[in-house]
Each structure stands twice: as structure tokens, then as C-alpha cells.
Structure 1
Amino acid sequence: MSFDFNTYQFELLQEEDSLSFFTLIQKNKKRLNDFFAGTVAKTGTLEATQSYCKDIMTRIEDRAYYPYLIKEKSSQKLIGFIDVKNIDWEVPKAELGAFIDEDYEGKGIITHHLTDLIDTIVQEHDFKKLLCRIAKENKRSIQVALHCGFEYEGTIRRDYRTTSGRLIDLNYYGKLF
């Protein structure tokens, strides 16, 4: 089955995306709660999401955080999110995180757009390394990382506490440029 990835685009989050961002998070909250805990916590209401998006604009200006949205081109419906975080300009390197709306899962949209985004941010920011930290039981995200050219670097034991309180191991995947 072929899929037209050109019906989607990625773009940097803007303040005016608050409502669609809020809607996406709320719809997928149960799935996101453990591993996007900060985002979920800061988007509990539309007003909180608007404030959060405003704060994000400052972080973008400070070159500390780059959140990208995946949207359907025709409707501008928000269907996914990729963030560039934990940026260390001394190396320079950054961590990537991503999720997609449950209705669009398994279609390769994240893999396709993550590949394009990696090319864009490496060119724009001259990153020398990108990193993904993924719970070892998250097989889909591991497959995305591997398809995007990341290599398994190791497992850090008891590296993350989920929102539900579990202390879990994280697999680290890196990509060098």
C-alpha cells in the first residue's frame, strides 16, 4: 500500500497553534502521560496551553527548544509532534522526541517527517549528533529511530521515572553527522 506523504508538512509551533496543540494532547493524553509528562502537565487547559505556547516562543528565540508540528496540508489539522530538546550547543547535539495522533499511527508519517526534519535541523544548526531515548518496550519508536539511521548506543538503567512512578531503563540511539 502506498501512502502520499506530501499531504502532510512539518512546521515550527507558533502561538496561534495553541488550540490545535491542546486538542491533540487531550485526545492522546493517556498514551502520552508517561513519556511526555511535562507537555501533558502544561497543557491541561486551553488557557494553560496558550501560556505554554507563549513560553515556548521564548525558548525558540533563546535557541533552547524547537517544537515542530506535523499537519495535514489541506485542512491544517495537527496530527503529530516532533521536538528538538536538551540542546547542547558546545558539541552541538540535541535529543529528539516524537508522537503521532493514534488515528495516524503505523503509516510511516513520523518516520518520513523525522527524516526530513533531521536533514533540515542538521543543515540549519550544524548538529554533530542527535539522540533518541526510548523505553525498551516501545518497539514502534525503536523502529522509527532505526529507520531514520539512528544506531543503538546502549541502555541506561533506571534512567527515567514515568508519571505513574515506575523507574525504567531507556535505550539510547544516536546519529552522527
Structure 2
Amino acid sequence: MIYNGEAFYIDQLKSSDALHLNKLLVSNTQRLKRFLPKTIAANRTLEDSKSYIEFKMDCMNAKSEFVFTVKDKPTKNVAGLIILKNLDWEEKQGEFAYCIGEKFKGRGWMKQAIKAASNFATNDLGLKTLQIIAHQSNKSSVNVAKKSGFKWKKTLKDVFIPEDESPLDMELYELTI
């Protein structure tokens, strides 16, 4: 467990999370698919979620990517995900992607969760630069970045192409330790 708060806790993704992960992503598909299309596509069915978790657990063992669940404490249901990806061990750099279910948004959980995951990334993994890449229209994600101590660095031109859309400019936020 990397964080244990009053309302939620954060832990590494486990096989036992398949059902709750699938429910979270299926029930939030419409609001998450624009910016997390690969994660949504990989979790359409319960069997897909089991395969996704197995693959991500292999990635965690290889230290190529880390996936954490944000869990509601009373129910132990998966309320959100934090993915630490695009790891560059030479540069000691990684990028966060994250999401939270509709019924849990607006509580400040993701801000706390990103701070906790940042502490894990720097203290346990030795990373020095953490990034969040968000579209300016995704106000919630931009606010999480800013409120978690990440600073805007630059606009990345045409770097993300959502399904059935033209390429989008994305905003790069960084936290340097």
C-alpha cells in the first residue's frame, strides 16, 4: 500500500481488482474514452480486465510501468487509477495518467493520490522528474496537476489523437525533485 488516508487508499493493481476495475471503466466509458482510449479498450469485458491486470502486473515486475488503484475505504471498490508510464530510468523520469469514477470526482482524492504516487515515484523508485500531460479542456486533470505541485512547462503540438478527431495540442506539467 502506498497511501492510506481517511476516505481512500492506494495500492498496486492486483488480480483481485478485476471485477471492480471493469465496473469502474465500463460505467465511466463515455467520460474517459477521449483521453484514456487504450485503457478503456483493454477493459471492455471482465475477461479483458483480467488480461489487462495480468499484463500490467508483468510490467510492474519489469519496472516498465506501474498501475495503482485508488480505492474507496468503506467499500474497497476501485474508485480510480493512477498509471506511472513512459519511464526513462536513465533520465529518472516518468509520466502519470489517471482517472477517477464520476461518483468520486470533486472530493480532492486525485490530488492527494497524485501527491502520494509522486512520493512513491521519487522515494521508492528514485525518479527525479514527473510529468502530467493534459488537454486544456480537461479542467479536472489540469487542476489535479497544478494542485499537486506540477508546473506548466510547455504546449506539445499535435501529440495526441483521440478517436475520430484531429490531433490535439497537450499541456506538459512537470514536478522536478
Q: TM-score, normalised by structure 2?
A: 0.94
What root-mean-square deviation, in Å, do the aligned CA atoms of Structure 1 and Structure 2 show? 1.0
SS in 2 for 1:156: strand
The one-letter code sitting in structure 1 at the alignment partner of 2:31 is R
Equivalent residues in 2 for 1:15-94 (5 A)?
A: 15-94=15-94
Whether the aligned pair in 2 keeps the contact of 1:7 and 1:73 (CA below 8 Å) is yes
Whether the aligned pair in 2 keeps the contact of 1:35 and 1:163 (CA below 8 Å) is no
Whether the aligned pair in 2 keeps the contact of 1:34 and 1:164 (CA below 8 Å) is no
Structure 1 segments unaligned to the other structure (5+ residues):
none
SS in 2 for 1:35: coil
SS in 1 for 2:6: helix
CA deviation vs aligned residue, 1:105-149 (integer Å, no higher than 9, x gap): 111110012112211221001101000110011112111101111
Matches of 1:164 and 1:40 in 2, distance apart? 16
SS in 2 for 1:163: coil
SS in 2 for 1:157: strand
Matches of 1:61 and 1:93 in 2, distance apart? 18
Runs of 4+ in 1 over 3 A off after TM superposition: none
2:129 match: 129
SS in 2 for 1:155: strand
CA deviation vs aligned residue, 1:68-126 (integer Å, no higher than 9, x gap): 10112232111111110010111110000111111111111100121122112210011
2:140 match: 140
Structure 2 segments unaligned to the other structure (5+ residues):
none
- The sequence identity of aligned pairs, in percent, is 24
State how many pairs are aligned: 173
The one-letter code sitting in structure 2 at the alignment partner of 1:99 is C
Matches of 1:138 and 1:101 in 2, distance apart? 15
SS in 2 for 1:21: helix
SS in 2 for 1:6: coil
